[in-house]
Amino acid sequence: MADPQTITDRAGRLFTLVFVVCLGLLGFGLFLQHVKGLDPCPWCVVLRLAFIAVGLVGLVAALHRPKGAGIAVYSVLGVLVALAGVAAATYHVLLQKDPKRAAACIDSPVERLLDASGIGDWVPPLLQYGGPCTLEPWSLLGLSIPQWALVWFVILAITLALLPWLSRR
């Protein structure tokens, strides 16, 4: 078994990796939006908020460098946020597959909540939306943006769930 300092260092590096992955995914979303002209829909913004939340858990944990149970606490918190992202991405995937549900995205409770919070004004290039939920205008290897988000939230959830064990190896 590794000594406590080695475990803390490994956990810190893994939490940093989680943060960097989330930052990279957000950066790619900004590339698609501002370079490729794909305006995000309200659910895209929800997915971005979930990536921000998972990334912040990773960043705070990486800076804190917890020991023992602290590693597990941050991991559980990260898993819970990533699972919320899984739920949001799953709904977004289903939304894009059903034209009736996708049309209901406009003036939906999520859109009203985002508007009421004024979140689009916080960081407009990242959190303002203007696109419809109905389009699947971009794909890579046959997967749409919300499908890729789902894949990454699952990867992040698994990584965070295994992080306490991985940091001890």
- Output the pLDDT for position 5: 67
Nearest to residue 64, comparing CAs of 9, 1, 3? 9
The two three-digit tokens of residue 48, written as one number:
């971005």
- Output the pLDDT for position 53: 97
Return the CATH number at 128. Answer: 1.20.1550.10
- Output the pLDDT for position 1: 54
| C-alpha torsion angle, residues 114, 118, 123, 129 (rounded to 10) | 40
- Is 130 in a helix, a strand, or coil? coil
- Output the pLDDT for position 136: 67
- Output the pLDDT for position 3: 63
**73 Cβ contact partners less than 8 Å away, ≥ 6 residues apart:** 66
> Could you tell me the maximum CA-CA distance found in the chain, to the nearest angstrom?
56
Q: How many domains, the chain? A: 1
> What averages of pLDDT result for each successive group of 10 residues across the chain (169 residues)?
68 91 94 86 90 96 87 94 96 82 72 76 74 69 88 96 82
- Output the pLDDT for position 54: 98
- Is 118 in a helix, a strand, or coil? coil
Domain hosting 115: range is: 4-168
